[in-house]
Amino acid sequence: MERTFVMIKPDGVGRGLVGECLRRYENRGLKLIALKMQQLSSEQAERHYGEHKGKSFYEELVAFITSGPTVQLVLEGKDAIAQVRKMHGATNCLDAAVGTIRGDLGLSNQKNLVHASDGPETAQREIALYFTEDEIVSYELPVASWLQ
C-alpha cells in the first residue's frame, strides 16, 4: 500500500469543501490514516514550497497558502499517489475535467482547492513536514479485501 500527502487549501476550507473532498477520497477506497487542521506559518509554507523559491509565483503562493486554515491528511491505498492526482485534475481548474475535484469545484489556477504529492519521495517529505509517525494511525478497514 502506498501513502500520499494531501492538503486542502484555504479556499477549500473557506468554502466548506473539506467534507466533500474527504468523501471523494474515501468513496474511491483510499484509507484516511492521518488528519489535522492548522493555519500555516510563513516558515512552514516556505519549507513546503521550497523547490519553487525564486520563481515568479513563489511569493504569491506562500501568501495564499498562509491566508487561512488548511487541512493536511495522509491517505493510503493501492497507487494512492496516482489515484489522488487523477481525482484532483489539472492544476488550472479551468482545464480540469468534469468529475475531478478541481473540475467540479475549483475556481482558478491558484485557488485550486487541493495539493497532492507528485511522487513517492515528495510524499515521504511532505508527510514528514506535517506529521510525526505517532500521528499516523495504522488500522484495517472492514472492507479491505474488497478494495484490492
Amino acid code (one letter) for 59: E
| Calpha distance 138→148 (Å, rounded) | 17
| Calpha distance 74→55 (Å, rounded) | 28
Task: Select which of 48, 52, 88, 115 is catalytic.
Answer: 115
| Calpha distance 126→47 (Å, rounded) | 9
Amino acid code (one letter) for 109: N
115 is known as an active-site residue: yes
Task: Give how far the C-alpha of residue 119 lies from the chain's centroid of Cα atoms, to the nearest Å.
Answer: 13
Residue owning grid cell 520563481: 55
3-state secondary structure (DSSP) of residue 65: helix
Which residues are identified as catalytic? Answer: 115
